[in-house]
Amino acid sequence: MALELDRLVGEVRRQGVVVRIVVTHAEGSVPRNAGTAMLVGRDVTQGTIGGGALEHQAIVAARGLLEAEGAWARQALALALGPALGQCCGGAVRLLLERFSLHEVEALEALRGAVPAFVRPPEGARPPAHALESPAVPEATVAAARRSAGVAGAIGVEGWLVEAWEPSAAPVWIWGAGHVGRALVGALEGLPLRLTWLDDAPERFPERLPQGVEPVVVASPAAAAEAAPAGATHYVLTYSHALDLELCHRILSRPFAHLGLIGSATKRARFERRLLELGHAPAVVARVECPIGDPALGKEPQAIALGVAASLLRRLRAG
């Protein structure tokens, strides 16, 4: 796991200040490996480092660090899992707790474009390394930073902690807030994705929106497709076949990563014919996935959503 900066920035903007807990070292039988991280706010946590007494103790320490003054506040914890924590694991972990406010995350956003990794001391309140060529940063640390894109988790090198930047979250646009749309948003909650959820009626959205989801109410959904980023994955799940067709037409008319359409084999055949008549090349029309999901799981909205989520993750992991 690398530093999910987009998610960290989003949580800081929502909560004002958060503490990120990262497992920097794991030895023996432990619940999660080095590189695993979670976020702790005053009232909300996101992610897990393994649960149980280990996580409880880390959260208590993190909430204490939330009130720290000054920039780049950090705290290191070394914990042995066993009788002392009431856990059956026999290993040991080292944790780094880091406090992030808007000041820190804005600095990290600027840093991401300048250096290949997040390099900082494991303790104290020094800022991260802004220039890896500085004499203060050992050559071994610079080398580790440059190869960190292939390293899972945070690694310690000569008194510095090196962690790769997570690539920007993949944009996913979900068209329609009906039963399948709601189920799909729920299935994708908590994954490293940037979800945009669109509908033309505000009452279709649930009262509680999952974290990290941007709801968009738009009078003309088809026109809104022009604003989608070129690398977006689209799932068209609206209440209207006519609107579905118009959305597919607009999405296929510009760059996109993937397009999934709710429906049957009959609907796919009808849409293929209409999209070809609208001037789309056969190779482009063939990129429309319809039906979506895994037929073996069933046709319930939750079953469709699980199949779509699994397919999306496999495709993203494969690059």
Q: Which two tokens stand for residue 297?
A: 């799981």
Domain boundaries, the chain: 5-164, 170-317
CB 162 within 8 A of CB 144: yes
**pLDDT value, residue 90:** 60
Mean per-residue pLDDT for 286-296? 95
Q: Cα(220)–Cα(236) distance, rounded to whole angstroms?
A: 14
pLDDT tens readout for residues 178-193: 999 999 999 998 787 8
> Higher confidence at residue 159 or residue 184?
184
Alpha-carbon distance of 285 to 269, in angstroms, equals 11
Superfamily of domain covering 170-317: NAD(P)-binding Rossmann-like Domain (3.40.50.720)
Print burial letters for 208-222: b (CB count within 10 Å at least 16), e (below 16): eeeebbebbeeeebb
> In the prediction, which pLDDT does 165 show?
78
Percent of the chain whose predicted confidence (pLDDT) is above 90: 48
Neighbours of 102 (CB within 10 A): 12
Q: Which residues contact 128 (CB under 8 A, 6 or more apart)?
A: 72, 107, 108, 111, 118, 119, 120
Position 29 scores a pLDDT of 64
Structure tokens belonging to residue 72: 């780049």
Q: What is the pLDDT of residue 152?
A: 46
- Residue 60 to residue 260: CA distance in whole angstroms: 43
Please give the average per-residue pLDDT across 288-306, as a whole number.
95
Mean pLDDT is lowest, of 28-42, 144-158, 229-243, for 144-158
What's the rounded Cα separation, in Å, for the pair 294 and 298?
7
* Whole-structure pTM value: 0.61
Report the chain's mean pLDDT, rounded to a whole number.
85
Partnered with residue 120 across adjacent β-strands are 161
Question: Does 21 have pLDDT greater than 50?
Answer: yes
Contact 38, 48 (CB under 8 A): yes
